[in-house]
């Protein structure tokens, strides 16, 4: 009965009610969106660096090297000699080394030359077909199979670089021989083939300064030297001399290598090694500053919504004194009047929280669609973080209680005879 009466009372002044709900909805939506994005963003980044101690690549920005080689969301820093890299890949400290060669793309999805170890590193099992063995055989990620409607035996051509509208290489067609099972990692959005496939696709491109700039040309890997103009009828192998790759993912037996190699490689080669853990922590630090600023904004909006609820209840209380006095005359107790005001405030907060939670999920859907298009990274809007969103719900309820406290006390202390006499 009290709850029903409270619901009718909050619409006594609909404009005040709507304003309070909108403010509270906005704050809850912002906080919900930030909490979900931050949590899932960190999870995705953390999962993809498991098993990678260092990344070796061309000199340049360490963060750029990590983003391009591990997460595939940036242009590579350039190319390195495979022969030079192989010397370090075979070092006793190294437990596993996975070479990467960036070449083309298919409708915006990167074609990555690598070895079967790459699939093993991401625990990507073959759901259909087999692992690539020959040149121009590919294993596609689960997301690609779904989005591009590719099946076993299908053939397609790659476009030069990262741009989907780039020059199409029609010399060779890639053939789908395997489809990887979903992993929730970057491999879901990659097309994997042998490294010689990348070399052979670009075998007619001599390695000149203009064709291989300092920061690479959209990951284009090519043959080094004019003497490497291979016949297209000859299948290249990993034993080819003078070839280039983009990067190497390294896992060490001896952790001493993680500490010493960045300095040793920088001093003795034209390459660099970068730590994914270190660079990701730096990225999270920068990312966290923006998240915190937006969270403070959201809490500020929530505070304003609490003040709005307080003002609405306090002002309407003056106009409803006669109503409360009549309720007391008809048998309502002081505590029931206090409960009525508190319930009105809590109803506003609960409605605001529900709408805010829904709006936050809608925002996640929009962010996910945008990030998936640009970075092949999606977010789950249906995940509910009981610890953080539960605390947010309690905080929202707390705002409602505090906002209603003074009006509720005034309703409790209402003088019936004085109110009716002045009516």
Residue indicated by tokens 């809590």: 346
Whether residue 251 is contained in a domain is answered as yes
pLDDT at residue 209 in the model:
36
Closest CA relative to residue 167, chosen from 213, 207, 218, 212: 218
Question: Where is the domain boundary, 241, 274, 307?
Answer: 274
Extract the tokens encoding 71: 């997460």
Handedness of CA 309, 312, 316, 317 (dihedral sign): positive
Radius of gyration of the chain from its Cα atoms, rounded to whole angstroms: 31
The answer to whether residues 253 and 318 belong to one domain is: no
How many domains is the chain built from?
Answer: 2
Whether residue 281 is contained in a domain is answered as no
Phi, psi of 206 (to 5 degrees): -70, 150
Extract the tokens encoding 333: 């107790």
pLDDT at residue 419 in the model:
62
CB 65 within 8 A of CB 266: no
Give the other-Cβ count within 10 Å of 358's Cβ.
14
Whether residue 215 is contained in a domain is answered as yes
The answer to whether residues 270 and 333 belong to one domain is: no
pLDDT at residue 420 in the model:
59
Whether residue 25 is contained in a domain is answered as yes
pLDDT at residue 291 in the model:
75
Question: Where is the domain boundary, 243, 274, 305?
Answer: 274
Extract the tokens encoding 378: 């999606």
Find the domain containing 23 and state its range. Answer: 2-45+290-421
Question: Where is the domain boundary, 211, 240, 274?
Answer: 274
The answer to whether residues 37 and 60 belong to one domain is: no
The answer to whether residues 62 and 38 belong to one domain is: no
Closest CA relative to residue 398, chosen from 317, 334, 305, 297: 305
Torsion-angle region of 407 (φ positive above 0: left; ψ -120 to 50: alpha; else: beta): alpha
Tens-digit pLDDT string for the chain (423 aa): 677 776 776 677 778 788 888 889 999 999 999 889 888 888 888 888 888 999 999 999 999 999 999 998 888 999 999 999 999 999 999 999 999 999 788 888 999 999 999 999 999 999 999 999 999 999 999 999 998 999 999 999 988 767 666 678 788 899 999 999 999 899 999 999 999 999 988 774 434 333 344 434 444 444 444 444 444 456 788 888 889 999 999 999 988 889 999 999 999 999 999 999 999 888 877 777 777 787 888 888 888 888 888 887 777 776 666 666 777 777 778 888 788 888 888 888 899 999 999 999 999 999 888 887 777 778 888 888 888 899 999 999 998 888 888 878 877 777 666 665 665
Exposure of 98 in the CB half-sphere (CA atoms within 13 A)? 21
The answer to whether residues 24 and 68 belong to one domain is: no
Whether residue 284 is contained in a domain is answered as no
pLDDT digits (tens, 9 = 90+) for 147-189: 899 999 999 998 876 766 667 878 889 999 999 999 989 999 9
The answer to whether residues 265 and 119 belong to one domain is: yes
Eight-class DSSP state of 188: G
Where is 14: in which H helix or E strand? helix 14-48
pLDDT at residue 334 in the model:
80
Whether residue 22 is contained in a domain is answered as yes
The answer to whether residues 91 and 11 belong to one domain is: no
Residue indicated by tokens 């905080």: 395
Coil, helix or strand at residue 384: coil
Q: CA 336, CA 3: separation in Å to the nearest integer?
A: 11
pLDDT at residue 20 in the model:
84
pLDDT at residue 337 in the model:
79
The answer to whether residues 214 and 89 belong to one domain is: yes
The answer to whether residues 67 and 209 belong to one domain is: yes
The answer to whether residues 309 and 331 belong to one domain is: yes
The answer to whether residues 169 and 134 belong to one domain is: yes
Whether residue 285 is contained in a domain is answered as no
The answer to whether residues 269 and 297 belong to one domain is: no
CB 356 within 8 A of CB 32: yes
Closest CA relative to residue 90, chosen from 276, 270, 257: 257
Whether residue 309 is contained in a domain is answered as yes
């Amino acid at each position: 009965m009290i709850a029903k009466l409270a619901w009718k009372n909050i619409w006594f002044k609909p404009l005040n009610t709507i304003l309070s709900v909108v403010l509270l909805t906005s704050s809850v939506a912002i906080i919900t969106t930030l909490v979900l994005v931050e949590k899932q963003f960190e999870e995705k980044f953390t999962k993809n660096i498991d098993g990678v101690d260092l990344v070796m690549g061309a000199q340049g920005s360490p963060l750029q090297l990590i983003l391009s080689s591990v997460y595939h969301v940036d242009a590579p820093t350039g190319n390195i000699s495979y022969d030079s890299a192989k010397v370090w890949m075979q070092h006793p400290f190294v437990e596993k080394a996975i070479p990467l060669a960036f070449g083309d793309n298919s409708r915006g999805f990167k074609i990555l030359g690598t070895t079967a170890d790459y699939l093993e590193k991401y625990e990507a099992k073959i759901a259909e077909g087999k692992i690539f063995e020959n040149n121009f055989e590919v294993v596609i990620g689960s997301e690609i199979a779904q989005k591009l409607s590719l099946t076993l035996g299908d053939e397609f051509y790659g476009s030069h670089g990262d741009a989907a509208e780039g020059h199409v290489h029609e010399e060779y067609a890639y053939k789908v021989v395997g489809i990887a099972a979903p992993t929730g990692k970057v491999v879901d959005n990659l097309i994997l083939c042998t490294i010689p496939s990348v070399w052979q696709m670009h075998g007619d491109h001599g390695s000149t300064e203009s064709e291989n700039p300092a920061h690479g040309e959209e990951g284009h890997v090519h043959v080094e030297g004019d003497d490497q103009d291979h016949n297209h009828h000859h299948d290249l192998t990993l034993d080819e001399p003078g070839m280039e790759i983009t990067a190497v993912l390294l896992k060490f037996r001896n952790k001493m290598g993680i500490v010493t190699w960045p300095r040793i490689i920088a001093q003795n080669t034209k390459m660099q090694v970068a730590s994914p853990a270190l660079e990701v922590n730096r990225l999270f630090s920068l990312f966290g500053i923006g998240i915190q600023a937006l969270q403070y904004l959201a809490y500020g909006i929530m505070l304003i919504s609490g003040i709005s609820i307080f003002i609405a209840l306090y002002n309407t209380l003056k106009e409803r004194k006669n109503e409360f006095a009549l309720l007391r005359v008809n048998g309502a107790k002081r505590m029931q009047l206090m409960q009525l005001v508190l319930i009105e405030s809590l109803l506003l907060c609960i409605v605001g929280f529900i709408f805010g939670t829904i709006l936050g999920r809608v925002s996640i859907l929009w962010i996910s669609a945008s990030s998936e298009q640009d970075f092949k990274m999606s977010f789950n809007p249906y995940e509910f973080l009981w610890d953080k969103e539960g605390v947010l719900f309690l905080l929202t309820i707390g705002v409602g209680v505090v906002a209603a406290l003074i009006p509720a006390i005034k309703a409790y202390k209402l003088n019936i005879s004085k109110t009716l006499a002045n009516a």
